[in-house]
Amino acid sequence: MMKKLFFALTLGLFVQSASVLADDYLMWQLPSTKISLPVYVYEGGKQVAFIPSDSLQYFAGKYKAGSTNATYDLYYQTGEQWNGCTLVLKDGSVDNTKGITTCTGAVINPPGAKSNVYTTGFGAYAWSSVEAPSNPLATDYTNRKVKLVNNTTYPLIQVGESCSVKVGSNKAPSCQTNPIIATIANKSPNNTHVITVDKDGLNSSAFYMSAYCTASSVKKCGTSPTKAQCEKGTQGKTWVCTGGYFAGQTPYASKIEPTILTVTNGIPDGASNIDISAVDGYNTTVKLYPEQGAYCTYTVPPENSNVLGAGYYDTATPLAEINPPNGLEALCDSSSQLPAKYSGTISQWKLTKMDSAKKFEGCMSPCAYASKHKPKDKDRFCCTGSFDTPAACDAAAGDIGANTATYNSNVVSTFTHVYGFAYGDAGSDYACPPETNFIVEFVAP
């Protein structure tokens, strides 16, 4: 997730995001001097934002140049004293009628190139003394959640988690490297497993489906398999262990990768970033979205740069989705390590994974396939070794490499904001408000 600063977006990735850019949005940007943080934002007498840092992204909402009308009251506290100002927008501009807008130096700044984010600007002046706002509330960042939901037709699924061992804040129970962290039924109230992330955060982790029951009911599933049973292939006739995250296997699962950062003295270290990755492969249809709906940017560091703009995302407009219209198996059958319309003599790799009953189990990425079968090609298709930079890994059109593979072009064109090789995550990795709760919905078959 956002491991490298990489601005060279492919046309396909940008076209994927274009539909979200139909609306413009207004983001709060506060002066770094003279006022004190946090700032409480009110609209219509109700608190609508809590801004603890001038480096975090918070949105006022949709904005339309020439027509947006709104009134915002902003407050901060120094000791016992409250200070505040009022920002009035009329026809999309700051209303400078005498006495209406009291935020000195307030302006609306236009978006940068290829962005749809307007920003507020304020003069670096202390705001006037005012009465305290009604019931100002600080956001609690110690109870953030990732909810894994079984909306498949499988009576039971199992999910696993992989954690970066290089990140010191990752610790149980929110982070544990284990292919089986939960068994989830497909009927409420037992169809959701909740991971609670406290102030220590959850950094560079990945969730995936690791097993599913093929029986017609929970009762007929029998006992859920253990890690050892999946490794030995003794999980029973009603269960399929999948994903390749068991000992001695090569991973190929659909991965959901959240990075929820540490909170220091009540201030998050940054936005919450999340994406769906097919870098290893894919083994299930999945849908990812903020639980309550949220304004998020698809960008590269720093999170508030809005390189590619912002959108509003919820269950109807997911952040990302693996959703092939003809099914995962058909897509995998049409995928390989070779570029489209390749006319050379190199043989096509068969990426399809089948279970013991010869039923489709998943699709290996070229990286996963090379790791297991073609070690001489691993670096180029996994973007490691001499190919461990975007420029080196990014093969030219017609050449053979991770980004030119039919596998990756199929991922980009068929899935929604999912990336298929290590440097393809720009435009697929989202920065959401640090308090966002995320829903990971397994929805297939």
Count other Cβ atoms within 10 Å, centred on residue 368: 26
The Cβ of residue 188 has, within 10 Å, a number of other Cβ atoms equal to 9
Q: Report how far residue 185's alpha carbon sits from residue 152's, in angstroms, rounded to the nearest whole number.
A: 9
- Measuring CA to CA, which residue among 421, 63, 19 is closest to residue 412? 421
Q: Give the pLDDT confidence score for residue 3 in this predicted structure.
A: 34
| Average pLDDT of every residue of the chain | 89
Helix (H, G, I), strand (E, B) or coil at 412: helix
Lowest mean pLDDT among 185-199, 325-339, 390-404, 429-443: 390-404
Q: Residue 206 in contact with residue 159, Cβ under 8 Å?
A: no
Write out the two tokens for 422: 């290590």
Residue 377: is its pLDDT beyond 80?
Answer: yes
Q: Which residues contact 366 (CB under 8 A, 6 or more apart)?
A: 336, 337, 349, 351, 381, 402, 405, 407, 408, 421
Give the model's pLDDT for residue 85.
Answer: 98
Whole-number pLDDT of residue 2: 36
Q: Is the model's pLDDT at 287 over the cut of 70?
A: yes
- Note the pLDDT of residue 247: 93
Among residues of the chain, what percentage have pLDDT more than 90? 76
pLDDT of residue 360: 93
How many residues in the chain?
Answer: 445
The 10s digit of each residue's pLDDT in 255-280 is 999 999 999 999 999 999 899 999 99
The pLDDT, as a whole number, for residue 12 is 33
66 φ/ψ angles, rounded to the nearest 5 degrees: 90, -5
The helix/strand/coil state of 375 is helix
Among 78-82, 113-117, 261-265, 415-419, which stretch is predicted with the lowest mean pLDDT?
A: 113-117
Q: What is the pLDDT of residue 427?
A: 63
Model pLDDT, residue 298: 74
pLDDT confidence bin for 357, thresholds 50/70/90? confident
User: Do 399 and 337 contact (CB within 8 A), yes or no?
Assistant: no
- pLDDT average, residue stretch 358-387: 95
pLDDT tens across 150-206, in order?
999 999 999 999 987 666 667 777 788 999 999 999 998 899 999 999 998 998 889
E strands, 204-345, are 205-213, 239-241, 255-259, 263-264, 267-268, 272-277, 281-282, 286-290, 294-298, 310-313, 320-322
The whole model's pTM is what? 0.91
Number of other CB atoms surrounding residue 352 within 10 Å: 14
Mean pLDDT on 227-245: 94
Note whether 159 and 182 are within 8 A (CB): yes
Q: What is the pLDDT of residues 95-121, one digit of tens each?
A: 999 999 999 999 999 998 778 999 999
- Residue among 242, 237, 203, 195 nearest 220 (CA): 237
Q: Could you give the CA distance from residue 211 to residue 33 in angstroms, rounded to a whole number? A: 53
Q: Which residue has the tokens 């969730």?
A: 207
Confidence of residue 17 (pLDDT cuts 50, 70, 90): very low
Per-residue pLDDT for 25 more than 90? Answer: yes
Q: Is the pLDDT of residue 64 over 60?
A: yes
Band the pLDDT of 425: cuts 50, 70, 90.
confident
> Cβ–Cβ contacts within 10 Å for residue 136, how many?
15
